Amino acid sequence: MALENLEFEEPIAVLLKEIEALTLQPRTDARDREIEVLRRRVESVRAELYRSLTPWQRVLVARHPSRPDLEDFIHRLFTNFVEIHGDRRYADDHAIMTGFADYKDRPVLLVGHVKGRDTKEKIYRNFGYARPEGYRKALRAMRLAEKFSRPIIVFVDTPAAYPGIESEERGVAEAIAVNLRDMMMLDTPIVVIVSGEGGSGGALGIAIGDRVLMQEFAIYSVIPPEGCAAILWRDATKKIEAAAALKLTAPDLLHAGIIDEIIGEPIGGAHTDPAAAAKQVDDVLTRMLSDVSALDGETRLALRYDKFRNMGRLGTDFRDEGS
Amino acid sequence: MAWFKKARKPIAAAPKEKPSRVPEGLWVKCPGCAQIIYNKDLATNLNVCPKCAHHFRVSAFDRLRMLFDGDWVEYDKGLVSTDPLTFTDTKPYKARLKSSIEATGLKDAVIVASGAIDGIDTIVASMEYGFIGGSMGVVVGEKIARAIERAVDTHRPVVIVCSSGGARMMEGALSLMQMAKICGALARLDRARVPYIAVLTDPTTGGVTASFAMLGDLNIAEPKALIGFAGPRVIEQTIRQKLPEGFQRSEFLLDKGMIDLVVDRREMKGVIANAMRFMGATRVQPLPAAIAMPEVELPAEPAPQS
């Protein structure tokens, strides 16, 4: 399958074209060797590029149209998935998917954003922009998990909550706020994986958990770089500077104490080898889930509270100058 | 050769509108009804236009004066951001902080204090829009979270007066996480059955709306305040049309069922006190000065680390 190349992957695209041109010619041993050399070159160029991605380049990888999404992970890591729909209030939001499944023979609840792959699907999923109903559906499903003591696994991948008239009319802010408060008290293990774009409140609205993990090239930000550039620089083309200033990469978030661990990705990003990427998610998820499941409910809730309570550290992020 | 000749001197262009020569701050023009109001009249009327009831924005400090019966005790006054991301856009964040500190006399965008509201000992967090748009970074998050935890420990009602553009971009994802931090504290407050009243004033948007502003036992808005999640401009860009008049204003939200009531500022204190009494808060009789020290409990609390 030919993958879409990102703008900074131009050197790779050039090599791939050369390889393609060679494969169209009659096969000879010499030509096969040449192709082999070029393939290795692709690998090394890719490794070189991905070793030192800029924040903006990571934004592009996190938004890659072929990046493994919730449906990919369900397909690769879970069995017996049954989707449950609707918030029992107004509608079924397609940008957030919920359902139960088995993970290593153990029932779990899955919650996550879905952006959609092709145009038709993207429109159906509203490009991953959830409306209030999505957040309310997520909470309803999570209460179900709590009631029957099933762990919750969340995959976060959204540009933002949907900024539209109906979203405001039906109280998207209230829906997110209620989730933040109530997820803090849900008496069941919650593991959150930011797998693509962690788009501000739209992401956080389902991202309260005992563990918050991030895939290596995912991003998590208070505002998209484009929006930040438009507001602070008054120039949307300053998105590259904004992406760097916002410190939205996985290593930045680990450093800030916001996430617990980075899940590695194959060189070239999860989309170049979804199976390997899923395996890496699987390993960390299994470990984290067993860690938090081992705790008794009261301890787990106290630790969850402290985890978020300690974001913004005295002496590091703020100081006390007295009165 | 010109066919027409200007016989007279051209009329001088209107001089650039000079700032009014009326002594600074003596008179104010109401943006609601264009009436000229004497500043003192405005102040005695809680910064509400006496002619059309337009609500002017007020500072965090004035807000406390309007709510409390008398004096108050301020908490965590010295907390200040360290600029954790060393953020720079067109101007370093440190410089923005510095000029806001100078302009407002505050160290960040919220004042937290306790005092009596109609005799009820209450903890109030009052946001300052003049401090980087009232935006919420780690200091605002920490001060409000501490305020709520104090309220849980001492069973005192909480009032948060919101006035904010949302999370503070210059502190990145840390700002975002303050939403979770405060909502966590509110969850405990809720479990402890301690009253929480959110007062939504112009403007309340973004991450503040999507966290504590919407979680009051009562969400009370001032008239015509802008209240929403996404800003109007962002929505207009998304839907590519002009938004209807009054969209995202208090009355609109009331109509959509998103807030409990819209209250004129001049009646706000009474409504809050009434609501707190409904929620079980009791009036502590104003005690003689010698023993009027509800703060004697304070040393028992975990002392702020320094």
Per-residue pLDDT tens over the stretch A123-169: 999 999 999 999 999 999 999 999 999 999 999 999 999 999 999 99
Q: How close A112 comes to chain B (CA, Å)? A: 18
Q: How close A130 comes to chain B (CA, Å)? A: 13
Within this chain, do residues A19 and A82 fall inside the same structural domain, yes or no? no
Please classify residue A66 by burial: count the beta carbons closer than 10 Å to its beta carbon, then call 0-12 exposed, 13-18 middle and 19+ buried: middle
Angle (CA) A191 A194 A199, round 5°? 125
Q: CATH 3.90.226.10 region(s) of chain B? A: 58-287
Please classify residue A164 by burial: count the beta carbons closer than 10 Å to its beta carbon, then call 0-12 exposed, 13-18 middle and 19+ buried: middle
d(CA B113, CA A184): 26
CATH of the domain at A230: 3.90.226.10
Are B276 and B111 in contact by the 8 Å Cβ rule? The answer is no
Tokens of A166: 């109906």
Within this chain, do residues A274 and A186 fall inside the same structural domain, yes or no? yes
Within this chain, do residues A155 and A77 fall inside the same structural domain, yes or no? yes
Q: How close A231 comes to chain B (CA, Å)? A: 10
Are A162 and A122 in contact by the 8 Å Cβ rule? The answer is no
Neighbouring residues of A227: CB distance < 8 A, sequence distance ≥ 6: B234
Residue B26 has pLDDT above 90, yes or no: no
Per-residue pLDDT tens over the stretch B225-239: 999 999 888 898 888
Within this chain, do residues A240 and A212 fall inside the same structural domain, yes or no? yes
d(CA A189, CA A187): 7
* pTM given for the model: 0.91
- Residues of chain A in contact with residue B215, where contact means CB-CB under 8 angstroms, are 177-178, 181
Within this chain, do residues A116 and A36 fall inside the same structural domain, yes or no? no
Three-state secondary-structure class, residue B259: coil
Q: Give the residue-averaged pLDDT of B44-63.
A: 94
- Residues of chain A in contact with residue B133, where contact means CB-CB under 8 angstroms, are none
Count of beta carbons in the 10 Å neighbourhood of residue B21: 6
Within this chain, do residues A19 and A103 fall inside the same structural domain, yes or no? no
Are A131 and A170 in contact by the 8 Å Cβ rule? The answer is yes
Helical (H) or strand (E) element with B158:
strand B158-164
Residue B9 has pLDDT above 80, yes or no: no
Give the pLDDT of residue B8.
74
Within this chain, do residues A42 and A67 fall inside the same structural domain, yes or no? no
Are A164 and A126 in contact by the 8 Å Cβ rule? The answer is no
Give the pLDDT of residue B10.
66
Helices B138-154, B172-191: axis angle to 10 degrees equals 10
d(CA B109, CA B144): 11
Neighbouring residues of A232: CB distance < 8 A, sequence distance ≥ 6: A242, B89, B90, B169, B170
Q: Which of A50, A113, A47, A104 is nearest to A77 (CA)?
A: A104
Which residue of B79, B177, B214 is in closest CB contact with A258?
B177
- Residues of chain A in contact with residue B88, where contact means CB-CB under 8 angstroms, are 245
Count of beta carbons in the 10 Å neighbourhood of residue A260: 19
Q: Give the residue-averaged pLDDT of A78-106.
A: 97
Residue B22 has pLDDT above 60, yes or no: no
Are A127 and A164 in contact by the 8 Å Cβ rule? The answer is no
Strands (E), chain A: 79-84, 96-103, 106-113, 152-158, 190-199, 211-215, 219-221, 261-263, 318-320
Within this chain, do residues A240 and A286 fall inside the same structural domain, yes or no? yes
Within this chain, do residues A36 and A152 fall inside the same structural domain, yes or no? no
Three-state secondary-structure class, residue A146: helix
Q: Which residue does chain A place closest to B75, by CA atoms?
A: A323
Q: Which CATH class is domain B58-287?
A: alpha beta
Count of beta carbons in the 10 Å neighbourhood of residue B211: 31
Are A183 and A139 in contact by the 8 Å Cβ rule? The answer is yes
Within this chain, do residues A16 and A164 fall inside the same structural domain, yes or no? no
Confidence bin at B202 (pLDDT 50/70/90): very high
The verdict on residue A295 lying in a domain is yes
Q: Which of B174, B208, B108 is nearest to A312 (CA)?
A: B174
Residue B304 has pLDDT above 70, yes or no: no
Confidence bin at B155 (pLDDT 50/70/90): very high
The verdict on residue A321 lying in a domain is no
Confidence bin at B15 (pLDDT 50/70/90): low
Which residue of A172, A222, A320 is in closest CB contact with B304?
A320
Q: How far is CA B191 from the centre of its chain?
A: 26
- Integer-rounded Cα radius of gyration of chain B: 23
Per-residue pLDDT tens over the stretch A266-288: 999 999 999 999 999 999 999 99
Task: Please tell me the total count of domains within chain A.
Answer: 2
The verdict on residue A314 lying in a domain is no
d(CA A158, CA A129): 6
Within this chain, do residues A165 and A302 fall inside the same structural domain, yes or no? yes
Q: What is the ipTM metric for this complex?
A: 0.95
Q: Give the residue-averaged pLDDT of B64-91.
A: 96
Residue B290 has pLDDT above 50, yes or no: no
The verdict on residue A140 lying in a domain is yes
Average predicted confidence (pLDDT) for chain A? 95
Peptide bond into B203 cis (omega under 30): yes
Residue A23: give the domain boundaries. Answer: 7-52
Give the pLDDT of residue A221.
97
The verdict on residue A230 lying in a domain is yes
Cβ distance of A171 and B256 shorter than 8 Å: yes
Which residue of B74, B89, B183 is in closest CB contact with A233?
B89
The verdict on residue A251 lying in a domain is yes
Per-residue pLDDT tens over the stretch A187-243: 999 999 999 999 999 999 999 999 999 999 999 999 999 999 999 999 988 999 999
Q: How close B222 comes to chain A (CA, Å)? A: 18
As a whole-number percent, the residues of chain A with pLDDT over 90 amount to 93
DSSP string, A94-105: SSEEEEEEEETT
Interface size, chain A vs chain B, as Cβ–Cβ contacts under 8 Å: 211
The verdict on residue A320 lying in a domain is no
Three-state secondary-structure class, residue A318: strand
Burial A97-110 (b: 16+ CB within 10 A, else e): bbbbbebeeeebbb
d(CA A54, CA A50): 9
Average predicted confidence (pLDDT) for chain B? 89
What's the N-to-C CA distance of chain A in angstroms?
63
Q: Which of A91-95, B17-21, B267-271 comes out lowest in average pLDDT? A: B17-21
Within this chain, do residues A37 and A104 fall inside the same structural domain, yes or no? no
Give the pLDDT of residue B303.
46
Count of beta carbons in the 10 Å neighbourhood of residue B98: 11
Sign of CA dihedral A85, A89, A95, A96: negative
